[in-house]
Amino acid sequence: MSREESNELKFTIALIAEFAERFGLDEKQAFNYMKRFQGMDYVSSFYDVLHTLSFDDSIEAIAAVCCQHGGKLNYQAV
Residue 77 clears pLDDT 70, i.e. is over it: no
Quick one: pLDDT band at residue 76, thresholds 50, 70, 90?
low
**Each residue of 19-67: pLDDT tens digit?**
999 999 999 999 999 999 999 999 999 999 999 999 999 999 999 999 9
Angle at the Cα of 9 from the Cα atoms of 64 and 26, rounded to 5 degrees: 55
Chain centroid to CA 52: 14
CA atoms within 13 A on the CB side of 44: 6
pTM of the model: 0.89
- CA 49, CA 61: separation in Å to the nearest integer? 11
Residue 78 clears pLDDT 60, i.e. is over it: no
Q: Which helix (H) or strand (E) covers residue 41, if one does?
A: helix 39-45
